[in-house]
Amino acid sequence: MALHATEELTAAPTSEIESEVLNDQTETYEFPEAEQDPQSVYATIHDQLVLDGNSQQNLATFCTTWIEPEVERLMVECADKNMIDKDEYPQTAAIEERCIHMLADLWNSPEAATTIGCSTTGSSEAAMLGGLALKWNWRKRRKATGKSIETPNLITGPVQVCWHKFCRYFDVEIREVPMEGDRLLLTPEEVLKRCDENTIGIIATLGVTFTLQYEPVLAISDALDKLQAETGLDIPIHVDGASGAFLAPFIHPNLHWDFRLPRVKSINASGHKFGLAPLGVGWALWREKHDLPEELIFDVNYLGGNMPTFALNFSRPGGEIICQYYNFLRLGKEGYRKIQTECYALGRYLAEKIGELGPFKIIYDGTDGIPGLCWELKDPANAGFTLYDLADALRERGWLVPAYSMPANREDLVIQRILVRHGFTREMAHALLEQMEQSLDHFAKNPVDITLSGAESGSHDHSGR
């Protein structure tokens, strides 16, 4: 079931006169003067929302768009629960705490039952908290030896925009390793070239936004061990596991990317991506309690009780956390593995079929990163269309299959990407493939003048969702 209002909530049709008045008002930006009856306002807004895209055809987003009816029910039951108000809602607080320790266990923390972590609104907030902890810990180490704390830097691969935000908002130099040729990810060699005494940490992404591939956390960790042995520099890793932290434990349990590596001090993940929770929940966890500096924890007493908090937000809905807990209990490792195995199989199937269409070179085939695939044109100059044209053609049939250019130094490379999430079926895959074939036929008969098409326009970048 999609996240739409259910039929029985739809109000009876309103009279002509009422809907005219409503339409007038909903098209302005002025704050309404008068009040109106709830049923007609509901009906008007419901009708407006119908014009939004169909989330099941959105192959651009990483986020959950399919939820069980039990999750819908829990979300309604939790509408009044403020997760920050731990004194008023101790059960919600206990559930959040259980989720944290379940995740610490899933990610192999040596202190799973006692380590520290928190829920957030998503990976972006969790990334800010992870980055702040790195910065504080670095400062402490520097101060202890009387060294300058003026110029912290953070080394990353091609990261999601949240890390650019962290670095700008919190005054840290970002050393983003550019892509070169076929190397579209961070490598140990590139990390080592940029490390110095002011490096607060390395961000390794498990599931890069642009290509869906995993960065080699273990190899980076090994390289940093060697660097420490040679120079004494002890540089921590934070893993941005927005997607991968809810995939690798089930599908690639032998992949060492998590707290099994002592150098991995913190991990963020989006509960609302492959954690399958409704929108609005992420997680930040530290390997052991002492990896999170105490100075970042605030004690508040004005909600009754004395509550330690570490978060950028204060009030926040509790429903998403509770539904995350529902998913953990409902699915267990077995259920997550089952759902994700099917997603991976569909991603690989699409990679095979789309590869066979002819004009495309598959860059990522859905095997050892996030379920999905991405491709480029084999011969962009002579294809008779750009991937932006193909994205537009698919969009006419409701499919959102984003085309976008890569970041530095591969801005010349345009790729197209599909994410396979829970709720995408084999039948839908066939419908999409059919539509792609029809679009290719159309371009073969009516080639696009590539010099005039939208390839240069910046308005096509959908990669960050």
Looking at the DSSP bridge assignments, the partners of residue 282 are 120, 270
**3 state SS of 379:** coil
**Per-residue binder mask for ligand PLP (CB under 6 A), 218-237, x = binder:** --------------------
- Which one, 43 or 67, has the nearer CB to ligand PLP? 67
Q: How far is the CB of 240 from ligand PLP (least distance, A)?
A: 5
- Binding residue count for ligand PLP, defined by CB under 6 A: 15
β-pair partners for 240: 205, 268
d(CA 220, CA 235): 11
Considering only 249, 282, 359, 369, the residue that binds ligand PLP (CB under 6 A) is: 282
**What is the footprint of ligand PLP within residues 291-330 (CB under 6 A)?**
none
C-alpha span between 121 and 225 (Å, rounded): 33
Tell me the residue type at 327. Answer: N
The CB-of-369 to ligand PLP minimum distance in angstroms stands at 11
Instruction: Tell me whether residue 22 or residue 127 sits nearer to ligand PLP (CB atom).
Output: 127
Tell me how far, at minimum, the Cβ of 435 lies from ligand PLP, in Å: 26
Task: Give yes or no for residue 240 binding ligand PLP (CB under 6 A).
Answer: yes
Told to check if 205 binds ligand PLP by CB under 6 A, we report yes
If 0-12 CB within 10 Å is exposed, 13-18 middle and 19+ buried, where does residue 381 land? Answer: exposed
The one segment of 65-73, 135-143, 203-211, 359-367 that binds ligand PLP by CB under 6 A: 203-211
Distances (CA, A) of 138 to 133, 163, 266: 8, 17, 14
CB of 417 to ligand PLP, least distance (A): 12
Where does this chain touch ligand PLP (CB under 6 A) — which range of 184-192, 240-248, 353-361, 455-463? 240-248
Least Cβ distance, residue 427 to ligand PLP (angstroms): 27
Task: Rule CB under 6 A: choose which of 100, 104, 162, 373 binds ligand PLP.
Answer: 162
Beta bridge partners of 175: 155
Q: What is the helix, strand, coil percentage profile of the chain, to 5?
A: 45, 15, 40
271 or 359: CB nearest ligand PLP? 271
Pair 399, 59: CB distance under 8 Å: yes
Give the span between the Cα atoms of 219 and 262, in whole angstroms.
13
Q: Rounded to 5 degrees, what are φ and ψ at 434?
A: -60, -45
User: Contact at 8 Å (CB) between 373 and 416?
Assistant: no
Residue showing the smallest CB distance to ligand PLP in the complex: 122
Task: Report which of 245, 240, 269 is spatially closest to residue 255, judged by C-alpha positions.
Answer: 245
Q: Which of residues 106-145 bind ligand PLP (CB under 6 A)?
A: 122-124, 127
Query: Which residues contact ligand PLP (rule: CB under 6 A)?
Result: 62, 122-124, 127, 160, 162, 205, 207, 209, 240, 242-243, 270, 282
